[in-house]
């Protein structure tokens, strides 16, 4: 074999595993299809650039001014985003290469279970490996909307962040987390934003009370949210792009300078030729893995978004830990024992959650107690100029154990990590209520929330 380990994809799990195995003295090749993707999806086209824009957007909103001033700040934000991602790409490449792992540019395609063809700008090469790890991530899903492919004003979440000119009118197709984040960013930059979703329920996976508060706050900021609305077609015209919709009141037309299709992401397996390796896929097009992230081929693993699980960078990092434990540990770590998984939606203010909703807890048979606190009761929320949110916790009334936490407030993306620790370790609401926190902070609100 040419290498002991071949890793396909430069994402969080792949690059971390490459460095770990190389430092152990094993031979490692890491394949990435483009130099522009060193570091993976998060660094280049997702978490980092989008949150850079989110921060710039909040600064811009605070600065005010006319649309021309806002458009200029937007262009500066795009420039800063590009600087940041370029710097992180360089650092990621240097970090992996510095361990002794070999980075190969090109598209990987299986020839058989141990052999991969890699095609790049410098030609094609064939590589064999004892173990292979698939870490190719996910790509935006674009539904077959008539006119979308032909329009020059339609973007995905990845290409939208390359748009240099701030759109005056932005239509976002999809009311999921990605769509809502972009709605919040561009509203803060100064765009007029309309979010369109075909489902009637707004963020249905969230606690109903929290979802209602989020919708009201976003609409109060001027973001138009249309539920129960289907997209019929998209037509480019001299005056802009027309998004023709079907509503309960008949056809309606929305006019936009830009249309963002934010209808989710799908595992990126195109071109891998998994059949040649005998690797099974799920009905939804993900690489099928067990709780140890092994595929049905014993020496091939898959990690990160390509497995069809939760699409978070920190889950990809935990996937690395699971695989590492298979290779060098006890093998006890699995996808089944991650504990409660927190997440944050970076709207303004951010929404963060871990654990059960109120309805989920009641359906599971718990006798629940609900703790609520308006963000307006927290001094730090007023310092942030964002007192419109709410904190909610779901508690087992019999044991005082926290079952779920839902924070829609400034710094919730940080606070939710403490709540994961509490849930995983059975820390009671009473303990958090009696803890000592620094002041003025958002975390000190836990004194009052759990009192």
Question: Which residues form the catalytic set?
Answer: 439
Chain centre to alpha carbon of residue 143: 19
Exposure string over 120-144, b if 16+ CB within 10 A, otherwise e: beeeeeebebebbbbbbbbbbebee
Closest-CA residue to 199 (of 241, 230, 165): 230
CA angle at 309 for the pair 47 and 300, rounded to the nearest 5°: 105
Following CA atoms 325, 327, 332, 338 in sequence, which dihedral angle do they give, to the nearest 10 degrees? 40
The crossing angle, in degrees rounded to 10, of helices 208-220 and 177-189 is: 20
Cβ 254 vs Cβ 196: under 8 Å:
yes
The Cα–Cα gap between 84 and 388 comes to 31
Tally of CA atoms within 13 A in the half-sphere of 269 that contains its CB: 25
| DSSP-assigned letters across all residues of 313-333 | HHHHHHHHHHHHHHHHS-S--
| DSSP-assigned letters across all residues of 380-439 | HHHHTT----EEEEEEETTT-BEEEEEEESTTHHHHHHHHHHHHHTT-BHHHHHT----S
Cβ 410 vs Cβ 386: under 8 Å:
yes
Strands 265-267, 300-302: pairing kind: unpaired
Say which DSSP state 237 is in. E
**Strands laid side by side in the 240-247 sheet:** 230-237, 240-247, 250-256
Using only C-alpha atoms, the chain has a radius of gyration, in whole angstroms, of 23
Say which DSSP state 42 is in. H
Name beta bridge partners: 302.
Answer: 134
The Cα–Cα gap between 149 and 402 comes to 47
- Is cis: bond before 159, omega within 30 of 0? no
């Amino acid at each position: 074999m040419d290498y002991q380990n071949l890793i396909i994809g430069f994402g969080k799990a792949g690059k971390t595993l490459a460095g770990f195995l190389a430092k152990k003295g094993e031979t490692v090749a890491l394949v990435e299809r483009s130099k522009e993707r060193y570091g993976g999806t998060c660094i280049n086209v997702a978490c980092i650039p989008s949150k850079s824009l989110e921060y710039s957007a909040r600064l811009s909103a605070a600065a005010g001014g006319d649309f021309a001033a806002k458009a200029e700040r937007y262009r500066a934000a795009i420039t800063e985003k590009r600087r940041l991602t370029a710097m992180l790409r360089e650092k990621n490449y240097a970090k992996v290469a510095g361990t002794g792992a070999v980075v190969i540019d090109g598209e990987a395609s299986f020839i058989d279970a141990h052999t991969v063809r890699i095609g790049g700008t410098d030609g094609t090469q064939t590589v064999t490996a004892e173990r292979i790890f698939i870490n190719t991530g996910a790509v935006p899903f674009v539904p077959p909307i008539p006119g979308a492919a032909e329009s020059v004003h339609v973007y995905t979440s990845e290409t939208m962040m390359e748009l240099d000119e701030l759109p005056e009118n932005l239509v976002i197709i999809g009311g999921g987390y990605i769509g809502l984040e972009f709605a919040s960013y561009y509203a803060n930059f100064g765009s007029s934003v309309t979010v369109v979703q075909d489902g009637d329920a707004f963020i249905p996976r969230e606690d109903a009370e929290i979802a209602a508060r989020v919708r009201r706050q976003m609409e109060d900021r001027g973001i138009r949210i249309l539920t129960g609305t289907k997209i019929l077609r998209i037509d480019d015209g001299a005056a802009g792009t027309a998004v023709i919709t079907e509503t309960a009141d008949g056809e309606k037309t929305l006019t936009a300078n830009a249309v963002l299709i934010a209808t989710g992401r799908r595992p990126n397996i195109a071109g891998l030729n998994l059949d040649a390796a005998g690797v099974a896929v799920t009905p939804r097009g993900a690489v099928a893995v067990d709780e140890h992230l092994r595929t049905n081929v014993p020496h091939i693993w898959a990690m990160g978004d390509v497995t069809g699980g939760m699409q978070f960078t920190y889950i990809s990092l935990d996937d690395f830990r699971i695989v590492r434990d298979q290779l060098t540990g006890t093998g006890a770590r699995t996808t089944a024992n991650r504990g409660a998984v927190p997440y944050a939606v970076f709207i303004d203010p951010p929404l963060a959650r871990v654990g059960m909703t109120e309805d989920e807890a009641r359906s599971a048979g718990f006798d629940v107690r609900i703790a609520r606190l308006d963000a307006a009761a927290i001094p730090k929320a007023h310092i942030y100029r964002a007192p419109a949110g709410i904190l909610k916790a779901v508690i087992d009334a019999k044991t005082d154990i926290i079952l779920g936490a839902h924070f829609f407030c400034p710094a919730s993306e940080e606070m939710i990590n403490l709540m994961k620790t509490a849930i995983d370790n059975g820390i009671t609401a009473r303990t958090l209520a009696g803890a000592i926190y620094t002041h003025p902070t958002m975390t000190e609100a836990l004194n009052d929330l759990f009192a």
